[in-house]
């Protein structure tokens, strides 16, 4: 087990990502943020209030459940979460947020799911951790907190204070 991000660096990375979004989307007048359930919302729940404080107003923020869009839905038991998108994404710049980008399958499912809410002008991806050598689909994040070069037998675990009582990212070697 190896600590990749401790509490201090964890918060620095989240603030940097928020500032990158502000730099590219400025006042968010044509942009929306959508956190991917279940674990992407921990990141988006932290970033959105921080961004709103800096820009001085509320932004459109939603939460997306992708359970029924997953390509392994029939094979693996997944507990559905609630989708909360009470605004139109038609011709908007959508920023999807997730904690770890691994195979790309979650993001593909999220892109399928958001089309049920309209046709966005553009879709961007923000992720706390990018496991770049594990991709199964041609998906790449636009905003990345940290890139981790890991092998398939390793697992990246993100701990969130809201759920796990600590902020930390660790790399675990799993024995097969």
CB 18 within 8 A of CB 49: no
The span from the CA of 145 to the CA of 126, in Å, is: 8
Domain that holds residue 104: 2-173
Find the CATH number of the domain harbouring 152.
3.40.50.2020
Pairing mode of beta strands 154-159, 168-173: antiparallel
How many C-beta atoms surround the C-beta of residue 133 within 10 A?
11
Q: How many structural domains comprise the chain? A: 1
Q: Which pLDDT belongs to residue 50?
A: 97
Show the CA angle centred on residue 19, arms to residues 114 and 40, nearest 5°: 35
- Angle of the 40-55 helix axis to the 7-25 helix axis, nearest 10: 60
Residue 68 is encoded by which pair of tokens? 């029924």
Q: Which residues of the chain have pLDDT under 70?
A: 70-79, 176
Q: Which pLDDT belongs to residue 71?
A: 62
DSSP-derived secondary structure letter, 175? P
DSSP H helix total and E strand total for the chain: 4, 8
DSSP-derived secondary structure letter, 38? T
């Amino acid at each position: 087990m190896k600590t990749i991000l401790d509490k201090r660096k964890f918060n620095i990375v989240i603030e940097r990502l928020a500032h990158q979004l502000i730099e590219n989307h400025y006042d968010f007048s044509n942009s929306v943020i959508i956190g991917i359930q279940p674990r992407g919302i921990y990141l988006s729940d932290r970033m959105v209030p921080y961004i709103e404080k800096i820009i001085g107003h509320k932004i459109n923020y939603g939460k997306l459940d992708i359970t029924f869009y997953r390509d392994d839905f029939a094979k693996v038991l997944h507990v559905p979460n609630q989708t909360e998108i009470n605004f139109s994404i038609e011709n908007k710049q959508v920023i999807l947020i997730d904690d770890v980008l691994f195979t790309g399958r979650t993001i593909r499912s999220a892109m399928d799911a958001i089309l049920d809410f309209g046709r966005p002008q553009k879709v961007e991806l923000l992720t706390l951790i990018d496991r770049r050598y594990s991709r199964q689909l041609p998906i790449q994040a636009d905003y990345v907190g940290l890139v981790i070069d890991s092998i398939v037998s390793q697992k990246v675990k993100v701990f969130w204070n809201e759920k796990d009582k600590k902020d930390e990212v660790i790399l675990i070697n799993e024995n097969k």
